[in-house]
Amino acid sequence: MNCINSEIMEEITNPFPGEEIVCATVLGSGWGEAIENFNIIQKIDYSDIPLLGQTTVIGHAGSLLLIEHEGRKFIVFQGRRHFYENKGWLPVLVPVLMCIKMGIKNILLTNAGGGLSENMSPSDVMVISDHINMMGCNPLMMIDLPDIFPMFSDQSYIYCKELQNKLFVSAVKADLQVHKGVYLAVTGPTFETPAEIRAYKTMGASAVGMSTVPTAMVANAAGLKVAGMTCISNLGAGLSPNALTHEEVSENVGAVIPKMAKMLGNFWAGV
Ligand code: HPA
């Protein structure tokens, strides 16, 4: 697998030069429509962004948006590339590398995930307080940029406490049912078995999903402030009688789109 080094970094672009951007947001499965009523100033297709490429996952639009909200500028990655798409780490990490190029200091990572805690219901949201990486590898092994990334980065506080609180309050104000908890990442693309879900519960996970963790690790290592939110799209395998489908995931996230839109506006205004 190719290393992410200074030559790769030269190819990473700043598509909005001269703009001062407060925060980048990555919208995960089902979240895409949450930004449709914001003031979108510019839209770039992922296939026009070097090294990113178009997402192959249904429900992930694949557009980078420049948004103006309450007089300040924000960017939104509407859809994400996943490790399970089997294109290596680079497309997964390009959004963070672009944030570094653009000098962006805050990143909000959103996703859909299976809920493991007893008190969670589909369409609730969870502020990510910490994570467990069960993807079987560490994306920082692929990065050779010593000026940006230390060899051994601290992961004691990946999810910025101040941003966690802002996210929590933003969700409450948007009338979302909100929890705080630990997100556990697997590679996918399969959902888990019931035995895996039981094991992950005993490990301390509150939600499980197939994304976010690599981006959060790399953003944290580069010194960005990271926030993360999961929309509980289903209960983990075996916790409800239903078999799991991507359609159910999209539907349950879709059900709270207007509230998630409010939550995003509240969060951006306060960040
Ligand atoms: N497991 C893993 N990823 C997911 C799930 C799940 O139950 N729901 C949405 N993404």
Q: Which is it for strands 21-27 and 72-78: parallel, antiparallel or unpaired?
A: parallel
How many Cβ atoms are within 10 Å of 187's Cβ, its own excluded?
A: 16
* Cα(94)–Cα(85) distance, integer angstroms: 14
Residue whose tokens read 């070097």? 50
Atom of ligand 1 nearest to the CA of 210: 3
Are 76 and 27 spatial neighbours (Cβ–Cβ below 8 Å)?
Answer: yes
Q: Angle CA(26)–CA(178)–CA(208) in degrees, nearest 5?
A: 60
Name all residues whose Cβ lies below 6 A of ligand 1. 112-114, 191-192, 208-210, 233-234, 236, 244, 249
Query: Which fold, 19-270?
Result: Rossmann fold (3.40.50)
Which residue, judged by its Cα, is nearest atom 10 of ligand 1? 113
Burial 94-116, CB ≥16 within 10 A → b, else e: bbbbbbbebebebbbbbbbbbbb
How many Cβ atoms are within 10 Å of 67's Cβ, its own excluded?
A: 20
- Quote the ligand 1 centre to 114 CA distance (angstroms): 4
Instruction: Burial-class residue 220 by CB neighbours within 10 Å (0-12, 13-18, 19+).
Output: buried
Provide the residue-wise pLDDT of the chain in tens; the chain has 271 residues: 569 999 999 999 999 999 999 999 999 988 989 999 999 999 999 999 988 987 776 666 799 999 999 999 999 999 989 999 888 899 999 999 999 999 999 999 999 999 999 899 999 999 999 999 999 999 999 999 999 998 899 999 999 999 999 999 999 999 999 999 999 999 999 999 999 999 999 999 999 999 999 999 999 999 999 999 999 999 999 998 888 888 888 889 899 999 999 999 999 999 9
* Cα(68)–Cα(73) distance, integer angstroms: 5
Structure-block tokens of residue 72? 């300040």
Q: What distance separates the 2 farthest-apart alpha carbons in the chain?
A: 53
What global pTM score does this model have?
0.96
- Quote the ligand 1 centre to 64 CA distance (angstroms): 24
- Quote the ligand 1 centre to 6 CA distance (angstroms): 35
Query: Which ranges in the chain belong to alpha helices (H)?
Result: 6-11, 90-102, 161-173, 194-203, 213-221, 246-254, 257-270
- Residue 171 phi/psi, 5-degree rounding, is -70, -40
Are 69 and 268 spatial neighbours (Cβ–Cβ below 8 Å)?
Answer: yes
- Quote the ligand 1 centre to 83 CA distance (angstroms): 14
